[in-house]
Chains A and B, each alone.
Chain A
């Protein structure tokens, strides 16, 4: 082949100018035959004992049942090794799956349109805020303090780039957004959007009342709903019912592996009026040259590869394969399976709440309706209590003091359909012991 090219050696072919040629010795991991690579990862796998613990962790990443049929389908090479479906004629299957995903997200959220996915729930919120900034021409965003702290962090990172400030609304004694404060803030008519998460970071239903929605509308502020636990959409009234115009969410709960944080599948859905500002890919239904039904990526004039510096989002690669997994999950579960799974999450989390509330010195902090997670006040520094539980093979939840100084004695606990009564009994027993130790330090 070198002869055909007319070059003597590979080094000649790849030669670069001397002033940039590699001189350092590369320090990368050594080459291994495949069976030894597997052994190397056996070693890493053994050093993740956390997967074996009884876990009550949630907070934006949830352990749900995923039927094996999902992986059997999604891992087919045609799906796995395809690129973004630019050549529609040989990508009809994937394009149709994206169209189905967009439909599922619309049906679940009550919105008119949905995109082909974004990186994750946090970036979905940031991109939703950018949509609202463009629509309103304003330069401030309002966000509830009961939104996932990481989501708010990412929102701030993105807004810093655009010189946009983010103000936060406090939460009240019910663990829900202080709607009086919200109404007061929007009256200044300076916010592009107001974002609420429901169920919020504390697990509670947290939506606009009719009065609050009217204040928001009067001020020309766009209501954004954040959904971090997508399974809740099968039990909770959809965001459209309380006035959300844009929904920014995370679909990890729909069969996507927790995988230490990613990849997941963010989504953005909105009312029709935001069509030209929604970021990312959109699959559309059309016809081919013989009048047959066909699918294609459409409205690409919004996107970075056409608009370049005039684009409102730079997203290119999104999370297609995770969205495919979620689509297949939704197809397999169906309405009945989703309703049953939601009912089990509601039941097990209430069983957990009763069990921990029976422990002396422990109470469930808020009375608001919750989905599958809730705040527990253990009356002692939460970090110490969680460490004690960890010593007994239990991951008791997330220490809320990490983000909320006023919640130093509070733990966010989650139960899903996979949480057993044995798990719950073990946690309650261990909590009793742990609190006795820490309450007296």
Chain B
């Protein structure tokens, strides 16, 4: 048995359990053969029975072997790991929301529909779009939706030759992957020496085959694309559409909007900017915004409001790309996002962006004292540093710095992204961190860089305080072990059904 700090491994749930330890959540049922013919029936259900206490201890221990924002600073670039207010979860868990069936008739679900409507209207104003769909389940899902819209839009205009999507080399990996899922060919556009997309460079590749230009602004270097208006004009002049990857929207609220910059399509990650907990990798929520000429193409259904504010789900949208998910939205997340909007209002969101950018720049100038920051200018919500010199002089890589930070109780920054910066560390503090926290992080990273010069071996050995040391990823990939199998270990539950 392990204590919170123990390095003894926690057994798998399948290695626990015994006959007779079932919990009585529902009454005993009749044998299944009373209801189903033999041909349909399952004869074997090889799962363990565990007492509730054992299950509670097991997953409590697993939680103690997991690092979240609630435990410490989480400066993961482009992920916007800000504090997740608990009131949002409390509201989303209310039975009137949590137990509502998606096929509840509209007239009995007006509250849910109004939540979606208020969120949609607020996002549209905040980001300068004509309308949003709350359908997509995450940012990448919304990118896919946006490119499906672009594809359909060009098809209806008889411009099927538009098969190229321009993606800067600083873009998130989902951008090119989403484009490929719509049959588009991806043209990667190198950034200029200022870490930005240049108007002339983009003009050179625009043409009658241009479909969409996908950009993030500020980009993943944390720099504002200051030529964005001219870039958008050039893309529009060539007949293409502009797509805004909203992963970095935390930097711009109250100062500019994708709509003001000339974007026709965008997504927002409400699990970043709007404090929805990331939950260890989802569920996310990726509202998809469009300019007026693309509203008809939004995925179904769309929430509509009558002049008397009676709300409805509209499925009858002849030009729509169709549905993108089983049901209407990750609704519980729409509740959380709207609650966060109510906590801030327009002025509060502007303050969010101000403090996010302030914190990032404070970190940047202090970290620049001991680590290279390749683009030495005011950044937005995040910035990049490089361990290239440390690697050259001492063999210490970005990965080693990241692992060492874990021993100091910090989550590591995003590393090796964006791809154009060698030995990259991409750091995003968010607005919810105090100056004391930032100072602590700066001091820790400073000590680690000193150690890199004096005792690099210590960094190669890091982390040492965690429940396991560096994990053998090569072995994991070469000998994939992706599941437990009955009979392979000491698992003691019966594999035969009674």
B346 interfacial by beta-carbon distance below 8 Å: yes
Q: Kindly state the separation between the CA atoms of A72 and B108 in the bound complex, as whole angstroms.
A: 30
B312 interfacial by beta-carbon distance below 8 Å: no
User: Shortest distance in angstroms between A213's beta carbon and chain B's nearest beta carbon?
Assistant: 14
A1-B358 contact in complex given A250-B326, A290-B469, A304-B177, C-beta closer than 8 Å: yes
B265 interfacial by beta-carbon distance below 8 Å: no
Q: Kindly state the separation between the CA atoms of A166 and B66 in the bound complex, as whole angstroms.
A: 43
A69 surroundings in chain B (CB, below 8 A): 52, 55-56
A100-B14 contact in complex given A82-B278, A90-B466, A321-B282, C-beta closer than 8 Å: yes
B484 surroundings in chain A (CB, below 8 A): 99-100, 103
Partner of B327, one of A10, A38, A262, A341: A262
Contact A321 B279, beta carbon cutoff 8 Å: yes
A331-B59 contact in complex given A10-B358, A120-B137, C-beta closer than 8 Å: yes
Interface-centre pick from B137, B321, B327 (highest chain A CB count, 10 A) = B327
Q: Which of B169-206 contact A (CB under 8 A)?
A: 172-174, 176-183, 186
Name 5 extra pairs, CB < 8 A, besides A154-B324, A390-B105.
A20-B260, A48-B97, A81-B70, A285-B476, A395-B108
The digit string for A222-248, where 1 denotes a CB below 8 A from any CB of B, is: 000000000001111110000000000
Contact B330 A93, beta carbon cutoff 8 Å: no
Contact A14 B29, beta carbon cutoff 8 Å: no
User: Shortest distance in angstroms between A78's beta carbon and chain B's nearest beta carbon?
Assistant: 4
B430 interfacial by beta-carbon distance below 8 Å: no
Contact B100 A51, beta carbon cutoff 8 Å: yes
User: Shortest distance in angstroms between A156's beta carbon and chain B's nearest beta carbon?
Assistant: 6
Q: Kindly state the separation between the CA atoms of A103 and B91 in the bound complex, as whole angstroms.
A: 33
A261-B328 contact in complex given A161-B182, A338-B47, A395-B105, C-beta closer than 8 Å: yes
User: Shortest distance in angstroms between B373's beta carbon and chain A's nearest beta carbon?
Assistant: 13
A260-B473 contact in complex given A16-B224, A250-B326, A343-B32, C-beta closer than 8 Å: no
Q: Kindly state the separation between the CA atoms of A69 and B183 in the bound complex, as whole angstroms.
A: 46
B60 interfacial by beta-carbon distance below 8 Å: yes
User: Shortest distance in angstroms between A421's beta carbon and chain B's nearest beta carbon?
Assistant: 13
What are 29 A-to-B residue pairs whose CB atoms are below 8 Å? A5-B364, A14-B251, A26-B254, A28-B345, A31-B347, A37-B87, A38-B90, A44-B96, A44-B114, A46-B111, A47-B114, A57-B103, A85-B66, A91-B67, A92-B467, A93-B63, A99-B482, A100-B12, A119-B283, A120-B327, A123-B324, A237-B39, A262-B329, A293-B9, A317-B282, A318-B138, A324-B280, A338-B45, A395-B105
Contact B91 A41, beta carbon cutoff 8 Å: yes
B362 interfacial by beta-carbon distance below 8 Å: yes
For chain B, the count of residues having a C-beta within 8 Å of the partner chain is: 201
A441 interfacial by beta-carbon distance below 8 Å: no
A40 interfacial by beta-carbon distance below 8 Å: yes
Partner of B186, one of A29, A48, A150, A308: A308
Q: Kindly state the separation between the CA atoms of A123 and B87 in the bound complex, as whole angstroms.
A: 30
A154 surroundings in chain B (CB, below 8 A): 322-326
User: Shortest distance in angstroms between A397's beta carbon and chain B's nearest beta carbon?
Assistant: 9
Contact B42 A26, beta carbon cutoff 8 Å: no
User: Shortest distance in angstroms between A60's beta carbon and chain B's nearest beta carbon?
Assistant: 6
Contact B279 A79, beta carbon cutoff 8 Å: yes
Contact B55 A120, beta carbon cutoff 8 Å: no
The digit string for B271-305, where 1 denotes a CB below 8 A from any CB of A, is: 10000011111111100000000000001100000
B249 surroundings in chain A (CB, below 8 A): none
A48-B470 contact in complex given A84-B280, A92-B66, A106-B483, C-beta closer than 8 Å: no
Contact A151 B326, beta carbon cutoff 8 Å: yes
Contact A78 B105, beta carbon cutoff 8 Å: no
B93 surroundings in chain A (CB, below 8 A): 71, 257
Q: Kindly state the separation between the CA atoms of A259 and B102 in the bound complex, as whole angstroms.
A: 7
B453 interfacial by beta-carbon distance below 8 Å: no
A10 surroundings in chain B (CB, below 8 A): 354, 357-358
A281 interfacial by beta-carbon distance below 8 Å: yes
Partner of B13, one of A2, A27, A100, A341: A100
Q: Kindly state the separation between the CA atoms of A4 and B229 in the bound complex, as whole angstroms.
A: 31
B471 interfacial by beta-carbon distance below 8 Å: yes
Contact B181 A122, beta carbon cutoff 8 Å: no
User: For residue B62, which residue of chain A has the nearest CB?
Assistant: A93
B387 interfacial by beta-carbon distance below 8 Å: no
User: Shortest distance in angstroms between A182's beta carbon and chain B's nearest beta carbon?
Assistant: 18
User: Shortest distance in angstroms between B305's beta carbon and chain A's nearest beta carbon?
Assistant: 13
Contact A120 B481, beta carbon cutoff 8 Å: no
Partner of A205, one of B40, B359, B483: B40
Q: Kindly state the separation between the CA atoms of A288 and B152 in the bound complex, as whole angstroms.
A: 49
Partner of A289, one of B43, B362, B412, B469: B469
B36 interfacial by beta-carbon distance below 8 Å: yes
Partner of B35, one of A50, A322, A343: A343
A41-B49 contact in complex given A34-B87, A154-B324, A261-B326, C-beta closer than 8 Å: no
Q: Kindly state the separation between the CA atoms of A321 and B432 in the bound complex, as whole angstroms.
A: 23
B417 interfacial by beta-carbon distance below 8 Å: yes
Q: Kindly state the separation between the CA atoms of A27 and B152 in the bound complex, as whole angstroms.
A: 31
User: Shortest distance in angstroms between A103's beta carbon and chain B's nearest beta carbon?
Assistant: 4
Q: Kindly state the separation between the CA atoms of A272 and B60 in the bound complex, as whole angstroms.
A: 32
The digit string for A284-311, where 1 denotes a CB below 8 A from any CB of B, is: 1111111011111011110111111111
B50 surroundings in chain A (CB, below 8 A): 331-332, 334
User: Shortest distance in angstroms between B469's beta carbon and chain A's nearest beta carbon?
Assistant: 4
Contact B483 A99, beta carbon cutoff 8 Å: yes
A31-B342 contact in complex given A78-B67, A317-B281, A333-B23, C-beta closer than 8 Å: yes
* Stretch of A167-175, A186-194, A344-352 contacting B (4+ beta carbons < 8 Å): A344-352
Interface-centre pick from A85, A99, A318 (highest chain B CB count, 10 A) = A318
* Stretch of A110-118, A374-382, A424-432 contacting B (4+ beta carbons < 8 Å): A110-118
A28-B97 contact in complex given A82-B280, A121-B326, C-beta closer than 8 Å: no
B89 interfacial by beta-carbon distance below 8 Å: yes
Interface-centre pick from A257, A265, A282, A335 (highest chain B CB count, 10 A) = A335
A73-B48 contact in complex given A48-B111, A237-B40, A259-B97, C-beta closer than 8 Å: no
B70 surroundings in chain A (CB, below 8 A): 77-78, 80-81
A137 interfacial by beta-carbon distance below 8 Å: no
User: For residue A305, which residue of chain B has the nearest CB?
Assistant: B173
Closest 8 CB pairs of A and B: A343-B29, A261-B327, A321-B279, A31-B345, A77-B70, A47-B111, A263-B283, A50-B108
B333 surroundings in chain A (CB, below 8 A): 262-263
Contact A22 B177, beta carbon cutoff 8 Å: no
Q: Kindly state the separation between the CA atoms of A286 and B181 in the bound complex, as whole angstroms.
A: 32
B330 surroundings in chain A (CB, below 8 A): 261-263
* Stretch of B121-129, B235-243, B390-398, B444-452 contacting A (4+ beta carbons < 8 Å): B121-129
A319 interfacial by beta-carbon distance below 8 Å: yes
User: Shortest distance in angstroms between B95's beta carbon and chain A's nearest beta carbon?
Assistant: 6
A261 surroundings in chain B (CB, below 8 A): 102, 326-331
A275 interfacial by beta-carbon distance below 8 Å: yes
Q: Kindly state the separation between the CA atoms of A366 and B188 in the bound complex, as whole angstroms.
A: 55
Partner of A16, one of B252, B281, B321, B469: B252
B208 surroundings in chain A (CB, below 8 A): none
User: For residue A304, which residue of chain B has the nearest CB?
Assistant: B177
B469 surroundings in chain A (CB, below 8 A): 89, 288-290, 292
A260-B100 contact in complex given A1-B435, A5-B378, A332-B50, C-beta closer than 8 Å: yes
B493 interfacial by beta-carbon distance below 8 Å: yes
A262 surroundings in chain B (CB, below 8 A): 137, 283, 325-333
Q: Kindly state the separation between the CA atoms of A37 and B87 in the bound complex, as whole angstroms.
A: 9
Q: Which of A98-157 contact B (CB under 8 A)?
A: 99-100, 102-104, 106-108, 112-114, 116-117, 119-123, 130, 148, 150-151, 153-154, 156-157
B156 interfacial by beta-carbon distance below 8 Å: no
A84-B281 contact in complex given A29-B341, A343-B31, C-beta closer than 8 Å: yes
A63 interfacial by beta-carbon distance below 8 Å: yes
B348 surroundings in chain A (CB, below 8 A): 31
User: Shortest distance in angstroms between B123's beta carbon and chain A's nearest beta carbon?
Assistant: 8
Contact B323 A90, beta carbon cutoff 8 Å: no
Q: Kindly state the separation between the CA atoms of A10 and B356 in the bound complex, as whole angstroms.
A: 11
B103 surroundings in chain A (CB, below 8 A): 57, 59, 61, 395, 398
